[in-house]
Structure 1
């Protein structure tokens, strides 16, 4: 049975608005309200530090980035939020396209490379992740250099992926932007015909590769580095391959942040300070050390073992154009992947 194209926004609102606010005093008005598409386990410690830095209560409402973006478009100027922290650039691009984000000062924008921020100057990336191929050396001694090779007969039934996961869908959106809808649909149909094994999450894909359940897996780089840090690199059979020459499978996406239009002056000031805090050395080091993502500002280096970001060969793409998730979901549904 095919899944619905998207979950109900009403259900989303009911779920997200019940998230308890941070702060010791629950009846104290929040100085800043954040809608966060990033998981609380990943950014909760940073939010607590942000609250101390701002010296005001910060209220966070967690949810799916794409659905929170849609919710913010629905709320318009009536939103209570002053800041949107997104898991990916596409959700920010959707808000930017509709004029729902406030411009950021050049001093903030200049903290991040142009490729990792909005061309319109209204959002910035705060951490980066790279799409990679995980592979089991016993099953795939030489992994392919392109996702286009995954439709070849030698990989039939040997590829793991997470079609309902946001990062896979962002990658497909990137392929649509880079190569067009027709070419992307053809590739998806070819992959589907090659009988890949579907999993719900990236970490399940990595487990399947590590245990030899599949030979290859499509996922984000940091899942492998987090597992290696936790268990020891010598305990992991799986390895990862960074795809060369601008292959769409090597997309570099970002988690990013933008200030929302409609916020009052005081909350807007807090929102700007929050953006700068997320670009600070303290926050960037958190992303490098704790989540194994790529830091994008403050001169902070990536975690040990990660190749430098500027040494990679990702496809050149305006990340703001990753906003057409609805069309990607429709395509994935059309080919029977979701």
Structure 2
């Protein structure tokens, strides 16, 4: 959006704000803003699911409305699509989006308390700019609300927050990290405050094992397989079965240098112990598993027939479909083991925030129906609001069977790296 267009939108918002003050109906006001000012007209981004390594600090300009107390937050309810806030403008429009539900259960941004004031968000990763775009869109709803964003890798920002909190004050109000391990470490070091129940209540306990953080979007481990070779019923439901199955000898791929794979092995180590994990890694190598640089390459090799199956996060197959919609590629999911891990991005309010109520309300906006639809249909992540289905013909988040594991344990990756080096996978 160019500067002249933005100035015109701000002028429109000023007039609409005066109209809202006269009418006093927030729903009518936001619908009018959306229709008249085009506040959701920013371009969306698709993310690759990697944790960013560059460090920068950006400031964006504010939107409209006034603040109300979070004590007025209503209970989740079921909405028809036309009762939500311009759902078609939040939603991605790629070929995989397909038909979406006609009803959603949760809370619309129309019914959340208004955001007012300023907050600073430390953003770890960000799905190729998608998360920053989401924050810009939230900000554009409220003229008197501004988000300041500092970006770096999740691990770097987690360490920074802990150091700042130990020194007595962090500039951060919110930490939004690409992985649960990073927010878990910050919580374990006493650098957060408890989130209100109304913020976390729509998310399964697995994705907020304590109320010191809450999951925003999920990433499910999966088995991409070539449909010319197998159907879903032919894929084992435990990763432990693959080294002993002759059908997969010299036919599988993995990406051991990739963070998502290392989280998978960390989960296995936490669940099964180091020795059992070592035996599985060695057995897979003896079975001829092939090494790739990242998990998109694994999924693409499966689609090309170079492999029959592999190990990857679910969304890499969605990215293959973006380029090759007729690819003979589907996903299977294992059951209650490390192969069924669902990691997630997570958000938390930082201790000594100047405005913890606004910070918590901001996180609540990330869990609104509209934002979950935006993130899920544009970045291919798993919405953690169960009424918002993932893109593609996939089970919803509450139909998956992840293991019982405290996701904060995934931050303990160093022993995993040592193990991968020991067995020669790295």
Normalized against structure 1, the TM-score is what?
A: 0.83
Alpha carbons of structure 1 residues 39 and 231: separation in structure 2 relative to 1, 3 Å: closer
Residue in 2 aligned with 1:6? Answer: none
Provide the rounded CA distance (Å) in 2 between the counterparts of 1:180 and 1:322: 14
Is there any run of 5+ residues in structure 2 with no aligned partner, and where? Answer: 1-52, 63-116
What is the Cα deviation at residue 281 of structure 1? 1.2
What is the Cα deviation at residue 175 of structure 1? 1.1
Provide the rounded CA distance (Å) in 2 between the counterparts of 1:319 and 1:96: 12
- The alignment covers a number of residue pairs equal to 314
Whether the 8 Å contact between 1:279 and 1:298 is mirrored in structure 2 is: no
What is the Cα deviation at residue 132 of structure 1? 0.6
Measured on the aligned residues, the alpha-carbon RMSD in Å equals 2.5
Residue in 2 aligned with 1:218? Answer: 311
What is the Cα deviation at residue 312 of structure 1? 2.5
Residue in 1 aligned with 2:88? Answer: none
What is the Cα deviation at residue 298 of structure 1? 7.7
Alpha carbons of structure 1 residues 31 and 71: separation in structure 2 relative to 1, 3 Å: closer
Whether the 8 Å contact between 1:160 and 1:197 is mirrored in structure 2 is: yes
Provide the rounded CA distance (Å) in 2 between the counterparts of 1:209 and 1:113: 32
What is the Cα deviation at residue 258 of structure 1? 1.0
Aligned equivalent of 2:351, options 261, 266, 271: 261
The answer on 1:208 being equivalent to 2:208 is no
Whether the 8 Å contact between 2:218 and 2:343 is mirrored in structure 1 is: yes
What is the Cα deviation at residue 301 of structure 1? 3.4
Aligned equivalent of 1:104, options 178, 195, 199: 195
Residue in 2 aligned with 1:149? Answer: 241
Provide the rounded CA distance (Å) in 1 between the counterparts of 2:403 and 2:251: 25
The answer on 1:37 being equivalent to 2:125 is yes
Normalized against structure 2, the TM-score is what?
A: 0.67
Residue in 2 aligned with 1:95? Answer: 186
Aligned equivalent of 2:139, options 28, 51, 57: 51
Runs (4+) of structure 1 exceeding 4 A deviation are: none
Residue in 1 aligned with 2:360? Answer: 272
Residue in 2 aligned with 1:21? Answer: 58
What is the Cα deviation at residue 153 of structure 1? 6.7
Whether the 8 Å contact between 2:207 and 2:344 is mirrored in structure 1 is: yes
Whether the 8 Å contact between 2:373 and 2:388 is mirrored in structure 1 is: yes
SS at match of 1:322: helix
Q: Deviations over 1:81-116 (max 9, x none)?
A: 221111221111111211122111111121211121
Whether the 8 Å contact between 1:23 and 1:57 is mirrored in structure 2 is: yes
Is there any run of 5+ residues in structure 1 with no aligned partner, and where? Answer: 1-11
Larger RCO, structure (CA 8 Å, separation 6 or more) = 1
